[in-house]
Structure 1
Amino acid sequence: MPDTPSLYDWVGGREALLGLTTEFYRRVALDPVLAPVFGHMDPEHPAHVADFIGEVLGGPTLYDPSGHGHVRMIGHHLNRHLTEAQRRRWFDLLLDTADAVGMADDAEFRSAFVGYLEWGSRLAVINSQPGVELPPSSPMPKWTWGAPGGPYIPGTA
């Protein structure tokens, strides 16, 4: 459908993603599993993550306009030695925060969002292990609606 909104537009754009990441990283700082991993993060970290997720969801190229955003993100995870327990806690806390801030919760959006978070967080763990090297290039992931035709809008089907 030509007028199907991007996931980025559907969720509410940068403002909604920044609200999510700001609240999420506030919670992360209080979490005994995640605080040790993220305790040293720059105060701008929530904005950078919001911009990265926004780009993945079809928004503007704000994270790294040079076109090397995915390589840059991979580089942030090298040699961090992330564990599955940390990944799972990150994933669960992000979804809990999405609910708390009132992020779009329709099935089609959440399916696509959860799909990206699962994929991305598992790559972060893989790329954080010893011996992983930064790739010379890696295209920015682009996530879209998982169901054919985009979101379900009641009364239109």
Structure 2
Amino acid sequence: MRPTLYEFAGGDPAFRALAAAHHERCLADPELNHPFSHPGQHPQHVDRLARYWAEVMGGPPRFSQECNDHSAVLRMHAGNGDMSDLGRRFVECFVRAADDAGLPADPEFRAALRSYMEWAVAEVLTYPGPARDVPAGLAMPHWSWTGLQAV
């Protein structure tokens, strides 16, 4: 049986490294740095992001149990209007952060990571209006080697 993306990546340490590297890349990007450097950001942003991605990729449900749900994540990113270019930049930072974090260079694994982030950015972009437009109780997405899994 094939391991989950979470297992293949290296578990919690790999996703912590990915979240930290992604955060650093976004801070260094002249367009993305503003939302990543504002003073209201959660002090455990990187750890929470690592838990979220780990859960999405087949890891334990720590984000759902300890932090919040998928609707809350979408609400946090809603209301920003058209962010198409920011979304593209966000994906590129994510892809490069996988290198920075030392995640496996396996082409199928990297394709699965990219396809997840492209899907995630597209989902965020479906809520350009206020946070109240995001439905309550959205299930946490689960991503595998073949893409989004039915919940």
| Comparing 82-91 and 21-30, the one that deviates more | 21-30
**Using a 3 Å threshold, how does the CA distance of structure 1 residues 16 and 67 change in structure 2: closer, same or farther?**
closer
Task: Note the 1:124-135 alignment, pairs <5 A.
Answer: 124-127=124-127, 129-131=128-130, 133-135=133-135
Structure 2 CA distance for aligned equivalents of residues 108 and 137 of structure 1:
31
Structure 1 CA distance for aligned equivalents of residues 68 and 20 of structure 2:
24
Q: How far did 1:136 drift?
A: 2.1
User: What's 2:35 paired with?
Assistant: 37
Structure 2 CA distance for aligned equivalents of residues 131 and 75 of structure 1:
8
Q: How far did 1:120 drift?
A: 0.3
User: What's 1:72 paired with?
Assistant: 72
Q: How far did 1:67 drift?
A: 9.7
Structure 2 unaligned regions, length at least 5? none
Q: Deviations over 1:68-121 (max 9, x none)?
A: 621121111121335111011111011112112221121221121111111001
Asked if 2 retains the 8 angstrom alpha-carbon contact of 1:11 and 1:104, the reply is yes
Task: Note the 1:2-81 alignment, pairs <5 A.
Answer: 4-40=2-38, 41-65=41-65, 69-81=69-81
Cα RMSD, aligned residues only: 2.0
Asked if 2 retains the 8 angstrom alpha-carbon contact of 1:56 and 1:140, the reply is yes
Asked if 1 retains the 8 angstrom alpha-carbon contact of 2:48 and 2:67, the reply is no
Asked if 2 retains the 8 angstrom alpha-carbon contact of 1:68 and 1:140, the reply is no
Same amino acid, percent of matched pairs: 29
Asked if 2 retains the 8 angstrom alpha-carbon contact of 1:7 and 1:144, the reply is yes
Q: Which runs of 4+ in 1 moved over 4 A?
A: none
Structure 2 CA distance for aligned equivalents of residues 131 and 76 of structure 1:
10
Q: How far did 1:54 drift?
A: 0.6
Structure 2 CA distance for aligned equivalents of residues 12 and 136 of structure 1:
32
The normalised TM-score by structure 1 is 0.83
Equivalent pairs, count:
144
Structure 2 CA distance for aligned equivalents of residues 137 and 77 of structure 1:
16
**Larger of the two Rg values belongs to structure:** 1
* AA aligned opposite 1:7: L
Structure in which a larger fraction of residues adopt helix: 2
Structure 2 CA distance for aligned equivalents of residues 125 and 104 of structure 1:
29
| Comparing 93-102 and 12-21, the one that deviates more | 93-102
